[in-house]
Structure 1
Amino acid sequence: MGDKASGHTGAAGRAATADRPSSVRNVVLVGHSGSGKTTLIEALALTAGAVNRAGRVEDGGTVSDYDEIEHRQQRSVQLSLVPVEWGGYKINLLDTPGYADFVGELRAGLRAADAALFVVSAAQEPEAIAGATRMVWEECAAVGMPRAIVVTHLETARTGFEELTRVCGEIFGGDDPDAVLSLYLPQYGPQHPDGHAPVTGLVGLLSQKIFDYSSGERKETPPDPDQAPLLQEARNRLIEGIIAESEDETLMDRYLTGADIDIKTLITDLEKAVARGIFHPVLAAAPAADGAKQGLGTVELLELITGGFPTPLEPQSPVVTTPSGAPGPQISCDPDGPLVAEVVKTASDPYVGRLSLVRVFSGTLRPDETVHVSGHGLADRGHEDHDVDERVGALSVPFGKQQRPLGHVFAGDLACVAKLSRAETGDTLSSKDDPLLMEPWTMPDPLLPLAIQAHSKADEDKLSQGLSRLVAEDPTMRLEQNQATHQVVLWCLGEAHADVALERLRSRYGVQVDVVPYQVSLRETFGGKSTGRGRHVKQSGGHGQYAICEIDVEPLPAGSGIEFVDKVVGGAVPRQFIPSVEKGVRAQAARGVAAGYPLVDVRITLRDGKAHSVDSSDAAFQTAGALALREASSDVRIHLLEPVAEVQVLVSDEYVGPVMSDLSGRRGRVVGTEQTSGSRTLVRAEVPEIEIGRYAVDLRSISHGTGQFSRAYARHEPMPQQVADKMRGQGGNGS
């Protein structure tokens, strides 16, 4: 790294290809929104020769061109793949959104990759590096994924590169900050009148060579003797960090006794430590200036990816089962093995229809072959389990808005598959004769409700299909047809996620919807015992209507529902009409008796009544039963019952106080706290659901993006009188 021969083998307009798994590198870019991930990918594509000097592909677009919504919102909202070639290797660069609402796209990128580049902006405050970015780092650490750090925006740095490297060591290194060290130090040019000194090159700490980018192309220059004392401390620390992680235990003894360790040995050990996920180099990078061939640090970064990051052959292959759950065969990254591939992203292209981005873990995928599609485990999000055979359409590799055709995709590589009409994100593709299933990756739970309704009759006809296609593309979204409130609810991860969902419904599927207030499933119950008399007597010529019934109503314990008891004696209400009274009572209970919410947890006892031999009927006694219940409710206090959720909030210790205060302000009851790893606390509380509709957004603000929470229904309980009076003024929910 820094001493190898380098050069690109790609060419603008030609698809990046590989002939074996060992020549593939799958790398996901992770970082806070605005850290410069997409710009970095474009700089790498330029250096690799995948685009021309203006950063454009053949059709005039850029490598990051794909979604119109991204252009309008000026931010990435979905996972995208940019393949480039360097030194005989195909590098699949996976660009992920940095905004927390699109963490599902990030998780998909982590699933498809074998290594991660964490992009950190020097223009941001160091605190911005922590939080959500650190949580992703810990996820990668848990599975042993190799990681490196790239520092961007050095031209507008608030924090010096050396200081930022130290901060990254503290945040990401944990107990071993020396596992996070820089490989190069910035070389600064003449200072401008405003006091700013531009970064013109990099100094290799191992080689002690200067790589000058000031001409727009990387050139090696001799070291400056005056810099040697300043570089020696950083160089010694790097060498000690590499040796500490070396598999050769004799190196440390040799180093401590003053023996000279050659650079090739150090580089080899460095690459092994990076690939094992135990050493995390820090590099600097910047986009190319106008007319330049290479961006600062891009050559060094490409060398790290090809030399230090693992091939698809090295990580442990995922466990597979049969669709029925029986153990499957042990698979490996073998092009000749059984076919096992996974859909990591689903999108709709206006010209070719549905496109599925697929990572092949075993075997070889070819166009026009029939595969088995298995999808299980996401039924709670509107994805029914399915096992179907589908014919694979054309295979291609994306590049901007282009789709460049491929003849096949072997194990370890990624590609787009056309015309898989049933396959959804997270599904497994396998042989139709021996179907297999991979367990889907963990998806965040969408906790922000968005209630919608069709804008017009024409939209109503298209709404169901549009919603099903939307949810098929995005497994982090959950579709709910709420039976209690009769609302269509899209559960999203945040406001930006909801905005993108609405925009996709409108622009991609031609469905205009209106957002309406989200309703929780309130209930009503009696506050005490009461009686009621229902009299329905009408005479208008011919057969009339005659029914009278008298009932007693008393409250029952929570969860009892509606209990109907017949205590009529002497045939006051004929036996054939008692079910009619019950039907009328239950129908009125479903409509509510005070504010229009369903009545629950009461015992209704029919004790007397009157009938007419000619004019009594089923309909008359249904009406009388309903009238009796309404009269009974007029003489007693009716309690509104609201759903209460069990809420668990995981938050950094520094935000525990604000979180608990906020929960109390939402009429919540904190029932306990528990210290967890990583200086975080789990706060358990019970909170009325009506108070946490926007908690997904509010918690992010309170905790500066670091908080997580879950919710589960606990029970219905009486609502405070002042809140109940306000709800009655708003009317029922039509339940």
Structure 2
Amino acid sequence: MGDRARAHPGAAGRAAPADRPASVRNVVLVGHSGAGKTTLVEALALTAGAVGRAGRVEDGATVSDYDEIEHRQGRSVQLSLVPVEWGGCKINLLDTPGYADFVGELRAGLRAADAALFVVSAAQEASAVAGAARAVWEECAAVGMPRAIVITHLDTARTGFDEMVAVCGRIFGGDDPDAVLPLYLPVLGPEGPDGHAPATGLAGLLSGRMYDYSGGERREEPPDPGRLPLLAEARGRLIEGIIAESEDETLMDRYLGGEDVDLKTLVQDLEKAVTRGAFHPVLAAAPAAPGGREGLGTAELLDLITGGFPNPLERPAPAVTAPDGSARPAISCDPRGPLVAEVVKTASDPYVGRISLVRVFSGTLRPDETVHVSGHGPAGRGHEDHDAEVRIGALSSPFGKRQRVLAHCVAGDLACVGKLVGADTGDTLSGADDPLLVEPWTMPEPLLPLAVEAHGKADEDRLSQGLARLVAEDPAMRLEQNPDTRQLVLWCLGEAHRDVALDRLRGRYGVRVDAVPYRVALRETFAEPSRGRGRQVKQSGGHGQFAICEIEVEPLPAGAGIEFVDRVVGGSVPRQFVASVEKGVRAQAARGVAAGHPLVDIRVTLRDGKAHSVDSSDAAFQTAGALALREAADGARIDLLEPVAEVRVLVPDEFVGPVMSDLSVRRGRVVGTEQAGAGRTLVRAEVPELEIGRYAVDLRSVSHGTGRFGRSYARHEPMPRGVAERLPVERRQGDQRIGA
């Protein structure tokens, strides 16, 4: 692609509204944390002429300036959009967080994009790259996303470019390492005092041209004769890799027979292979030197994006249905078609208010038109299904903290919509006269609990609204009002995700909350039969209280609940008061009889009792029933029941042993393992929920960031006596710690 005509630096500049889908490229930058994605976005914007030197826009902020939390933490925590122009195309660069806690933002970026730049840092050890990058690569592969690989940090490389390409071939190429090959080779300058030779230029393997970046501007030079043998070997391997993915099955035979394949055919086959996700070209990139305009490889990357990545017309649109779930015809990327767009990201600006990032899949979105909003959030995420009609406000394109007004947004393009009230992340925008619903993308299951309480009275009034807005903006979070523990629990993906949630509640919504220990819903049950007598006899003038009942309690199998049986003979307990006794027994069972947890799985039999013709009442027999159950508990052994979860852990084969050992330490029982694809194993276990409150964090440590897990409630079962004896003490201290 090095022979393509390219715009002069600065000639493209800031992106204007696209007029047709073929001129749009939506590219998401993905990769492990610290790989340099945000720096690369700024370097691409500088090369495209969208910003001045040092990546500054006119207000003095960088193109990545958006969230104050990102500045305080020094890392990306949310999806951000930077649009630029290059070679007659509008390129929407979507920068995603690399930290595993923000995989929800990554999936939103994958939904909005048509291709991905996978950013890998040469400054990290190859083993670290393998562990951190594999999960992100699999996220891209799961949605069939075309990918190119960009190697950064060559100036501080621990691993050379050639070695890093080989590492990427092993990790990402699978059975075909030749599906991951470089399009350019770095040209190294003289060694510095530290013995490191920096990359000062690139050699195009297809075009045969050399590009020097040492002066801060891209300058073409004639090939160095001393490098020609090395370039010829790499070029031959690249051509064979491209031809192997060609749709022309005769091309390989012709090439091996000595036929010279022309450059145009190679470029066309490369573009098709990249679009199909069958070939992943590798490039090197670095920011411009101080005072320079073009960073190493940035022009080549922009050329690859415009000439080698698919446009929205070449990618399938998501399936649609009517809001009631009935089938509807497939949509296409046609600006004249029915309007179908999706909110892929929702954010709040302290001055502008709510801002919705929208991907238009069909039709054209215009300001001031009325659209239908259909919402279908994941079950249990605090996002209820809803349908409404709203008026579209101003359309804009973000750039740093500024928003540039757009006249329209055609199919395939991205735009921001201000104050789109009633539309949350994942909602569909469609024509008011023809409502449609886009098939949702899969969101990760949040598995780290955060129990919160309002800090003060003023915060109580704002807490529910703040949490609702937080969950609406980030569907990777789940809000739960636990009916058993009466705790308000915000489920997150990890500790960083949790910290951002607390920060946003304080800074964005003005709600101060206190994080309190998360409690697991425990139960109690009788471990042996017992008897109890309840006596409520009081006389203090006027009508008194008189009720006596005798009960038997026996344990039932797990899951049986509470069974009440009337065995009274002779009318010792009048018929109208039998229900009162049952009501009192059930009320006391709900409060617990030993440690304050609900009592379950027992049969209570009413055997006898006494009543008074004047002083007996419904309230008296309710009290007597409760007292009888408490007396029965005093004379019996009460077991504490803990919830047990069915846990499914997916890890590379080399981490199966450490994962199983860790589960055993957590009192887990491994019930089976099975192969789950090449080099991966699914471990199934049953683990007490008391032991896995922090498992979302701990599994990353055990598996070096490569493991995933899911959990579901299995049952309650008796807790070991040694563990149960510690709980009352911990409860009195207000510190029921969850996790090993």
Q: Which TM-score band applies after superposition, normalised by the shorter structure?
A: over 0.9
From the superposition, tell whether residues 532 and 143 of structure 1 become closer, same or farther in structure 2 (CA, over 3 Å). closer
Separation (CA, whole Å) in 2 of partners of 1:99 and 1:325: 35
Contact 1:152 1:285 in 2 (8 A): yes
Quote the Cα distance in structure 2 between the aligned partners of 1:118 and 1:277.
13
Specify the alignment match of 1:631 in structure 2.
631
Matched to 2:312, the amino acid is P
Per-residue CA deviation, residues 137-176 of structure 1 (Å, 9 max, x unaligned), is 3343344321100000001111110111111111111111
Q: Deviations over 1:25-51 (max 9, x none)?
A: 000011000000000000000000000
The range that moved more, 99-108 or 11-20, is 11-20
Aligned to 1:666: 666
Q: 1:8 to 1:80 in 2, by over 3 A?
A: farther
CA shift digits 1:493-545 (9 cap, x unpaired): 00000000111111101111111111111000011111111112222222222
Q: Secondary structure at the match of 1:607?
A: strand
Task: Map Cα deviations across residues 481-502 of structure 1 (whole Å, 9 max, x no partner).
Answer: 0001100001110000000011
Distance 1:60 1:13 in 2: 17
The answer to whether the 8 Å contact 1:10/1:84 transfers is no
Q: Secondary structure at the match of 1:681?
A: strand
Q: Deviations over 1:658-697 (max 9, x none)?
A: 1101111111110000012120100011111111111100
Q: Cα offset for 1:630?
A: 0.7
Whole-angstrom distance in 1 between the partners of 2:158 and 2:324: 55
Q: More displaced, 371-380 or 686-695?
A: 371-380
Report the counterpart of residue 738 of structure 2 in structure 1.
none
The count of corresponding residues between Structure 1 and Structure 2 is 734
Shift in Å at residue 361 of structure 1? 0.3
Measured in 2, the distance between the counterparts of 1:521 and 1:648 equals 21
Contact 1:563 1:604 in 2 (8 A): yes
**Match for residue 31 of structure 1?**
31
CA-CA distance at 1:132 after TM superposition:
5.1
Determine helix, strand or coil for the equivalent of 2:346. strand
Structure 1 partner of 2:684? 684
Aligned positions of 1:461-610 closer than 5 A:
461-610=461-610
The residue number in structure 2 matching 1:714 is 714
**Equivalent in the alignment of 1:338:** 338
Contact 2:155/2:199 (8 A) holds in 1: yes
Shift of 1:351: 1.6
Give the gaps of 5 or more residues in structure 1: none
Give the letter for the 2:183 counterpart. L
Q: Distance in 1 between matches of 2:138 and 2:621?
A: 66
Secondary structure (helix, strand or coil) at the match of 1:66 reads coil
- Report the AA paired with residue 405 of structure 1: V
Tell me the residue number matched to 1:641.
641
**TM-score (normalizing by structure 1):** 0.98
Aligned residue for 2:54, secondary structure, equals coil
Shift of 1:8: 5.0
| Deviating more after overlay: 607-616 vs 275-284 | 607-616
Q: Confirm or deny: 8 A CA contact 1:147 1:277 kept in the other structure.
A: yes
Q: Give the Cα–Cα distance (whole angstroms) in 2 for the partners of residues 367 and 131 of structure 1.
A: 45
Partner secondary structure for residue 39 of structure 1: helix
Match of 1:347 in 2: 347
1:107 aligns with 2:107: yes
Partner residue, 2:367: 367
- Structure 2: how far apart are the matches of 1:265 and 1:705? 41
Letter in 2 for 1:113: A
Counterpart of 1:676 in structure 2: which amino acid?
Answer: A
- CA–CA separation in structure 1 for the residues paired with 2:107 and 2:652: 22
1:95 aligns with 2:71: no
Distance 1:665 1:541, change over 3 A: same
1:404 matched residue in structure 2 = 404
Change (3 A) 1:109 1:8: farther
Aligned partners of 2:18 and 2:409 also within 8 Å: no
In the alignment, the residues of structure 2 paired with residue 546 and residue 466 of structure 1 have an alpha-carbon distance, to the nearest angstrom, of 51
Deviations 1:563-584 (A, max 9, x none): 1112222222222222221111
Deviation at 1:263, TM superposition (A): 2.5
Q: Confirm or deny: 8 A CA contact 2:12 2:84 kept in the other structure.
A: no
Is this contact kept in 1: 2:13–2:48, CA < 8 A?
Answer: no
Aligned to 1:179: 179
The answer to whether the 8 Å contact 1:9/1:85 transfers is: no
Aligned residue for 1:619?
619
**Partner of 2:216 in structure 1?**
216
- CA distance in 1 between counterparts of 2:594 and 2:375 reads 46
Q: Give the AA of the match of 2:724.
A: A
Partner of 1:287: 287
What are the residue-to-residue correspondences of 1:10-409 with 2, within 5 Å? 14-131=14-131, 133-409=133-409
Contact 1:378 1:385 in 2 (8 A): no
| Alignment check: 8 A CA contact 1:480 1:489 kept | yes
Paired residues of 1:333 and 1:363 also in contact (CA < 8 A): yes
| 8 Å contact kept, 1:8–1:47 | no
The whole-number CA distance in structure 2 between the counterparts of 1:270 and 1:632 is 79
Q: Which moved more, 1:7-16 or 1:194-203?
A: 7-16
Q: CA deviation at 1:443?
A: 0.7
In 2, are the aligned partners of 1:341 and 1:358 still within 8 Å (CA)? yes
Name the SS for the 1:650 alignment partner.
Answer: strand
**What is the rounded CA distance, in whole Å, between the counterparts of 2:616 and 2:256 in structure 1?**
105
* Residue 425 (structure 2) pairs with residue 425 (structure 1): yes
Q: Displacement, 1:18?
A: 1.9
Q: How many angstroms apart in 2 are the aligned matches of 1:218 and 1:659?
A: 50
| Paired AA for residue 40 in structure 1 | L
Question: For residue 62 of structure 2, what is the amino acid of its counterpart?
Answer: T
User: Structure 2 unaligned runs (5+)?
Assistant: 736-740
User: How far is 1:11 from its partner?
Assistant: 6.9
SS at match of 1:378: coil
Q: CA RMSD in A?
A: 1.6
Structure 1 residue 349: Cα displacement: 1.3
- Partners of 2:121 and 2:552 lie apart in 1 by 71
2:394–2:405 Cα contact (<8 Å) kept = yes
SS of the residue corresponding to residue 537 of structure 2 reads strand
Give the letter for the 2:211 counterpart: F
Q: Using the alignment, how far apart are the partners of 1:7 and 1:657 within structure 2?
A: 55
Q: Deviations over 1:366-419 (max 9, x none)?
A: 111111111125132111111111111111011110011111101000001112
Query: 2: distance between equivalents of 1:431 and 1:329?
Result: 15
2: distance between equivalents of 1:173 and 1:728?
54
Give the 3 Å change call, closer, same or farther, for CA 246–641 of structure 1 in structure 2: same
Asked if the contact 1:8–1:49 (Cα under 8 Å) also holds between the matched residues in 2, the reply is no
Deviation sequence 1:443-492 (CA, Å, 0-9, x none): 11101111111111111111110011000001110100000110000111
Q: How many Å apart are 1:246 and its aligned residue?
A: 2.2
Distance 1:453 1:141 in 2: 40
Q: How far apart, CA to CA, are the structure 2 residues paired with 1:195 and 1:260?
A: 40
